[in-house]
Amino acid sequence: MSLLRKLIKASPTPTGDGAFIPSPLALKLATSSTTDYDGGLYDNPYSGGKLRVLMVCTEERNMVMANGKKFSTGNHPVEMGLPMLHLLSAGFEIDVVTPTGGPVQIEMWAMPEKDEAVKTLFNDFAPKFERPGNLSEFVKKSMTDDTPYIGVFIPGGHGAMLGLPDNADLGKLLRWVHEKDLYTLSICHGPSALLAAHDSVSKEPFIYDGYKIAAFPDSVDKQTPTIGYMPGHMPWYFGEKLTGLGVTITNKKADGACNIDRQLITGASPKAANGFGRLAAETLLDAIHN
């Protein structure tokens, strides 16, 4: 089997810090040098200059798999970039935070190198990614009645499963956004961070109990090690945990599916990034115009 994996280039590629990025085969099958970004044109963009979206990113790089090997991850550049482009084109500002203010970690191996819109975006936001805001400080000081924020965006990438699903500050933020009827946007593995809103100590109901979402299916994550996308099986599966708390994941494939349930907007995979970004931007615009 190891010889066959070498022949078809299905062995994960080691990094300099003892982790692994996806195999050449996996990169060929699961990434692209371009995207399907549609240009982000909106007939009636927001022009008030005040409303903002808070983007919560991971600051952790390596996921320890079930076999002990490390997967070099972070936030997926397409799942982050295309929704950002749509929100910015629709007239919203985006602020970036991580749990402690550490640099945003990005899956650079998934960067669409021939997509000029995405490359320009990441170049423009490089200072904010290197020195983001501190989520803990935001929770202490900025969750006010006169907030300029219309919603929170949690981008995808397996890195969203690191340091976010169990983060108490993120839990406070999500519950506050829910209470204020603001919007929560998340795609692919980003919905794993919704678990932060579950307060097992207080025994209060999960705020997303009864919701339907689009997200990356556990069943696909269980298959990806066969092509060397990851160096082993996942340490845990977020879909199982969300389902156990009353959430229904509507899609069965890692496809372009998107979903709106009340103020929660979700997407299934990188294939959904453009549609998810447009759906999110249009929904926010409808909310302020109507």
Query: DSSP class of residue 264?
Result: E
> Which residue among 53, 65, 188, 281 is the active-site one?
188
Decide if 57 is catalytic: no
- Rg over alpha carbons for the chain, rounded to the nearest Å, is 18
Q: Which of 106, 77, 83 is nearest to 37 (CA)?
A: 83
Q: Which phi and psi (to 5°) does residue 56 adopt?
A: -100, 115
Distance CA 209, CA 148 (A): 27
Q: Which phi and psi (to 5°) does residue 84 adopt?
A: -60, -45
Q: First CA to last CA across the chain, in angstroms?
A: 59
Q: Can you tell me whether residue 242 is helix, strand or coil?
A: helix
Distance CA 93, CA 201 (A): 35
Positive or negative, the CA dihedral 2, 8, 11, 14 is: positive
23 CB contacts (<8 Å, ≥6 apart)?
5, 9, 10, 11, 12, 13, 227, 228, 229
Instruction: List, by residue number, the catalytic residues.
Output: 188
